[in-house]
Homo-oligomer: A and B are copies of this chain.
Amino acid sequence: MGKIVLLVGGVGGAKLAYGLYHTMPPEDLTVIVNTGDDFWHHGLRICPDLDTVMYTLSGLVDKTNGWGVANDTTHALDAMRRYNSDEWFRLGDKDIATHLLRTQWWHEGITLSEITRRLASALGISCTLLPMTNGEVPTIVHTQEYGTLGFQEYFVKHRWQPTITSLEYLGADETNPAPAVIRAIESADAVIIAPSNPWLSVRPILSLHGMTDLLISRDMPRIVVTPLIQGNAVKGPTAKLMGELGLSTTPTSIMTYYGAVINGFLGDSRDESVTSAPESVQIRFADTFMDSDEKRITLSKYILQWLTDWNAS
């Protein structure tokens, strides 16, 4: 099935990354990760989605949460609270190691792509893991209740409860994707968009300078895996956000949103009866609920088979 590029956000995307990683030759897989969530916190450069994917692929991840390192402690965080510090972002002790090395290298002028390569390689990850860009493109959330919030303030501090009035991908259209990202898409045989939040996780990637045009220009399968099952997200604010944006939580809304970027849609089998697609989009259905490693792999095999069929037709 050739070279595959997967666009992902955090927890949901990491599950599909895990499935593909264990189903296909890892050297043919490139995972491009949203960095719109990245932020500075206590002087540390924190990249939540990159870390989630890295911990998931390396097997270090805390499987209960879907993020963070398994069996991590919070001794540093507890000690910070002793200093009367208001700590709303969970920093595990092992997790801090990732942030410390990344921050040190960042200050030394090393690109986030290279930093990510070093970290992932040390953890034994054999596919290519890439930040969407080496620049800083923070996602800004405008809310009814709190005005403008940084993404992590919205998502973690306020547990995605505020009502979103609009989103901003600050500086995205003037910021280039990482060079390796462009090369990966140029040489890919297929692009898969993970069932990550289309507005919060995938759009930051698509908003980068030239990214949408680059994707559309490539004549290959460009498939999104539905982030909705029966009108709800498996986790996180996708459905809630769609409501706030005045959209119905249907597969059709998702396809319309992605527009010409996609030419394939993998819906959930539970939604087969309610889904209609434009002619330009091939459509299939599968069980997209990945609540076990086995189901991640089963879904990945289904996708890879589809790509084989696609290329044969």
Asked whether A79 lies within 8 Å of B94 as measured between CB atoms, the reply is: yes
List B contacts of A43 (CB < 8 A): 43-44, 100, 103-104, 106-107
> For the complex, is A73 an interface residue (Cβ under 8 Å from B)?
yes
> For the complex, is A24 an interface residue (Cβ under 8 Å from B)?
no
Q: Which of B75, B82, B84, B107 contacts A93 (CB 8 A)?
A: B75
* B-contacting residues, A12-46, CB 8 Å: 42-44
List B contacts of A273 (CB < 8 A): none
Q: How large is the interface on A (under 10, 10 to 19, 20 to 34, 35 or more residues)?
A: 20 to 34
Asked whether A97 lies within 8 Å of B119 as measured between CB atoms, the reply is: no
Query: Could you tell me the distance between the alpha carbons of A273 and B69 in the complex, rounded to whole angstroms?
Result: 62
What sequence of 0s and 1s flags, for each residue 86-109 of chain A, a beta carbon within 8 Å of any chain B beta carbon?
000000011111101101101100
Asked whether A73 lies within 8 Å of B93 as measured between CB atoms, the reply is: yes
List B contacts of A178 (CB < 8 A): none
Q: Which of B79, B97, B103, B123 contacts A69 (CB 8 A)?
A: B79
Asked whether A93 lies within 8 Å of B122 as measured between CB atoms, the reply is: no
Query: Could you tell me the distance between the alpha carbons of A98 and B82 in the complex, rounded to whole angstroms?
Result: 10
CB distance from A95 to the nearest CB of B (A): 8
Asked whether B119 lies within 8 Å of A83 as measured between CB atoms, the reply is: yes
> For the complex, is A118 an interface residue (Cβ under 8 Å from B)?
yes
> For the complex, is A85 an interface residue (Cβ under 8 Å from B)?
yes
Asked whether B73 lies within 8 Å of A97 as measured between CB atoms, the reply is: no
> For the complex, is A156 an interface residue (Cβ under 8 Å from B)?
no
> For the complex, is A277 an interface residue (Cβ under 8 Å from B)?
no
Asked whether A100 lies within 8 Å of B69 as measured between CB atoms, the reply is: no
Task: From known contacts A42-B103, A43-B104, A103-B43, infer whether A97 and B122 are also in contact, taking CB-CB under 8 Å.
Answer: no
List B contacts of A123 (CB < 8 A): 82-83
Query: Could you tell me the distance between the alpha carbons of A106 and B75 in the complex, rounded to whole angstroms?
Result: 22
CB distance from A41 to the nearest CB of B (A): 8
> For the complex, is A77 an interface residue (Cβ under 8 Å from B)?
yes
Asked whether A122 lies within 8 Å of B79 as measured between CB atoms, the reply is: no
List B contacts of A96 (CB < 8 A): 76, 79, 93, 96
Task: From known contacts A75-B73, A76-B76, A104-B42, infer whether A97 and B118 are also in contact, taking CB-CB under 8 Å.
Answer: no
> For the complex, is A80 an interface residue (Cβ under 8 Å from B)?
yes
Asked whether A98 lies within 8 Å of B73 as measured between CB atoms, the reply is: no
Closest to A100 in B: B42
List B contacts of A69 (CB < 8 A): 79
Q: Which of B79, B82, B101 contacts A83 (CB 8 A)?
A: B101
Closest 10 CB pairs of A and B: A79-B97, A75-B93, A79-B94, A43-B103, A42-B100, A80-B97, A83-B122, A76-B96, A42-B104, A93-B93
26 contacts between A and B (CB under 8 A): A42-B101, A42-B103, A42-B104, A43-B103, A43-B104, A73-B93, A75-B97, A76-B76, A76-B94, A76-B100, A77-B97, A78-B94, A79-B93, A79-B94, A79-B95, A79-B96, A79-B98, A80-B97, A80-B101, A82-B122, A83-B97, A83-B98, A83-B101, A83-B118, A85-B101, A93-B93
